[in-house]
Amino acid sequence: MGRAFVESAIRRGHELTLFNRGQRNPDLFADVEKLHGDRTVDLSALKRRRWDAVFDTSGFVPRVVAMSTDALINSTERYLFVSSISVFKNFSIPNQNEDAELAELSDPTVEEITGETYGGLKVLCERAVQDAFQARATIVRPGLIVGPTDYTDRFTYWPARMHRGGDVLVPDIKSQPVQVIDVRDLAEWCLDLLERRVPGVFNATGPQRPYTFEEVILASNRNEQAKLVWVSPEFLKQYEVQPWSDLPLALEYDGSSNGMCQIDVSSAIRAGLSLRPLSETISDTRAWALTRPAAYAWRAGLSADRESTLLEAWKATK
């Protein structure tokens, strides 16, 4: 998300300073000032400077976020913290707004980031920013961020897989809700919030009426020639095919976590969030994915060999 934000800010003529370790894509944005440091141990590069706003995309541990707020409280006007919808306690509940019950850690001092602690840690990170900046704080809680340059492959898998063609294993969860947000839309809107000095907490995904899983799959296959093979959740569970990691966008097969993709984003829409068509996100994501090496190791989705094995086993049940 940082990359998309910087691109948006440059287009709008803002003066930027990037603070990071300089380890990933260090040659990007050659004309932008860069300060190097590790936010977990040393923020000295930020001393004796002043900025209008801070855009924080990489806070995961509250102690570390508090280090940043302490260092910047007197040298910046606003602080926008990118959190996550993972802060919510119960994803069996649909249509949760910003006031829904939040996750709580049994041990608030824990710093190991796992599937069990991630949401609770983000809650405490939010509070660190709010405690320091009060009405000068903006908290944005994205859902699944997708689009070009997304290296997680948690959405990219489907547009790219449809392009490869042939029989495609698809979980038969046609009515499952799906919400995503294109990284470019999210970045533009976050920049809007900072420019307009908008405080508060916002869920940021979409659309407000979720897509169905079937809609996303069919849109990913539009203008492609893949043959969709809809496979039952019972079969997938039998063969230990994991939702989300093996089959991106799929939630728990029993629907128990469907609330994760039924988030109320009406506050963000009222605050100006605008979403491009799903078809545009799909086509742009596929075009970017096709620029990667043929031997690229996918981080999510089924390997070709495993998919083929599963399809053979599924056909044998017919």
For the chain (318 residues), the mean pLDDT of every run of 10, in chain order, is: 97 97 91 96 95 97 98 97 98 98 97 97 98 98 97 97 98 98 98 98 98 98 97 98 98 98 98 98 98 95 98 96
pTM equals: 0.96
Query: What is the pLDDT, as a whole number, of residue 24?
Result: 86
Is the peptide bond preceding residue 159 cis, with omega within 30 degrees of 0? no
Q: How far apart are CA 115 and CA 248, in angstroms?
A: 16
Question: Which pair of tokens denotes residue 307?
Answer: 């998919």
147 and 154 Cβ atoms separated by less than 8 Å: no
- What is the reported pLDDT for 273? 98
Round to whole Å and give the CA distance between 177 and 255: 10
Residues ≥6 apart with Cβ < 8 Å to 197: 77, 78
For residues 16 and 179, give the distance between their C-alpha atoms in angstroms, rounded to a whole number: 31
Domains assigned to the chain = 2-316 (3.40.50.720)
Give me the pLDDT at residue 158, please: 98
* CB-CB contact of 166 with 202 (8 Å): no
The whole-angstrom distance between residue 57's C-alpha and the CA centroid of its chain comes to 11
231 vs 310: CA distance, rounded Å: 10
Angle at 108 between CA 104 and CA 113, to 5 degrees: 85
Q: How far apart are CA 13 and CA 171, in angstroms?
A: 45
